[in-house]
Structure 1
């Protein structure tokens, strides 16, 4: 959100971070990601939607923060998770707070479902992209709402330029390369919550081993017709005895 140049000016000088747009006297907004979060994993299961991420946030290549929650509830029927710039995600959450408050004030017995919130986010991201001042996030929006055809599960994604789609399982960031093949091979529509947790944890472990920005502190959330539940962070048991980990340079061309 509000960006201030460091005291010594060394970090911002000569970098894209210095290209900020004035937003009034004394206020500037960054056009370059500073503190970023990595992958979000989400999938539909028998009773609803499950979403997971780690709680790390990197300052450049430094893992600066280790207790950042990147999954939040939106209204009564939705969950949102975000990869990318954390302050931009905070700005998006502010937009969503205003949206849900405005919707609540109508007091017409209806409330915004995940489809409507996802549609709203696609317009926000595309609008900011057209201003050449994008919000540097990939957003995952999942939820459950009773409709004319009964209970309807929804899972969609929108990125920083407004590209969006709906899918049964989604992974952002590095997970788009490492977790999607696992989800395609093992996901089933009738999975129980326990099975969904095991599949999500398998993806998170692969990312922990392969993604330098991931940490062993994860958070899982679910949403059903009964509402959203965001569980406390926890760690997974790891194994670093693989041959490729013990001697990574073996068989490599050249040497260190």
Structure 2
């Protein structure tokens, strides 16, 4: 055998002849990922009168296995915005490196301007649409939360096709089905945002995280939450625990296959 590292497992060319790898050339077109393996679930966000609250749990699932329980899916960009990632974790890491390099360029810029949440949302939408146009999409849906150029609350979504839309409340994954109805009770229209306090927004998001923990099989009771305001900037807490959650009530359930006590 040829013991050179670059040829491990191959017969020696001088003994058995040169290695013929022509059969490996299939001639098929290049293919890309169509089924993400390690994924994160819901991201939730709601506007309030002075800013935005955004949250996501710390779980990354390997299929149906709760494999990684310390994956932070809220990434601050600067003192004005946060990006929340749902979907493929490896693509999230790629986008995180992309944003870090952009942040370095911005910090060394001599123009004296910095990107706000609206600028960042536009940039990410172009990135996602470019990859979609190459038929090699980044399998993520993101929420960009923060302040726009006038220091007003900004919240908008981007998906793997580059589709964008804004709303006073947004959620990705199962949160779009389970949490959005609850968040819309807080602010279902842009005109109602001015009447939502910071405390009310935080309470609503935490309640939705509890609902998702009970109802979404790909969620976790540990989560990250961020509050973005003009005065406080980005306040990010990355290892919060749901309060008052317990599965103890399951012991009192009767029926559904459980043996009835006589």
Q: TM-score, normalised by structure 1?
A: 0.80
Partner SS, residue 112 of structure 2: coil
Distance 1:162 1:74 in 2: 20
Find the counterpart in structure 2 of residue 134 from structure 1. 137
Greater Rg by CA: 2
Distance 1:166 1:33 in 2: 26
Q: 1:212-250: CA deviations, max 9, x gaps? A: 001111211111123211114122221446689935737
Q: 1:30-51: CA deviations, max 9, x gaps? A: 5531211100000111221111
CA RMSD of aligned residues (A): 2.4
**Residue 253 (structure 2) pairs with residue 246 (structure 1):** yes
Superposed, which structure 2 residues align to 1:87-236 within 5 Å?
87-145=90-148, 147=150, 151-187=151-187, 188-189=192-193, 190-225=195-230, 226-236=232-242
Q: 1:240–1:246: 8 Å Cα contact kept in structure 2?
A: no
Task: Extract unaligned runs of 5+ from structure 1.
Answer: 1-18, 23-28, 251-256
Find the counterpart in structure 2 of residue 7 from structure 1. none
Q: 1:83–1:172: 8 Å Cα contact kept in structure 2?
A: yes
Distance 2:149 2:127 in 1: 26
Q: 1:39–1:83: 8 Å Cα contact kept in structure 2?
A: yes
Q: 1:100-119: CA deviations, max 9, x gaps? A: 22233322121111111000
Q: 1:42–1:52: 8 Å Cα contact kept in structure 2?
A: yes
Partner SS, residue 32 of structure 1: coil
- Shift in Å, 1:71: 0.2
Distance 1:248 1:130 in 2: 52
* Of 205-214 and 240-249, the range deviating more from structure 2: 240-249
Structure 1 pair 248–20 and aligned structure 2 pair: CA distance change class (3 A): farther
Partner SS, residue 87 of structure 2: strand
Partner SS, residue 239 of structure 2: coil
Task: Extract unaligned runs of 5+ from structure 2.
Answer: 1-27, 258-262
How many equivalent residue pairs?
A: 223
Q: TM-score, normalised by structure 2?
A: 0.78
Q: 1:76–1:111: 8 Å Cα contact kept in structure 2?
A: no
Distance 1:165 1:66 in 2: 30
- Shift in Å, 1:185: 1.6
Superposed, which structure 2 residues align to 1:23-102 within 5 Å?
30-102=33-105
Distance 2:229 2:162 in 1: 27
Structure 1 pair 145–243 and aligned structure 2 pair: CA distance change class (3 A): same
Distance 1:78 1:234 in 2: 20
Structure 1 pair 222–249 and aligned structure 2 pair: CA distance change class (3 A): same
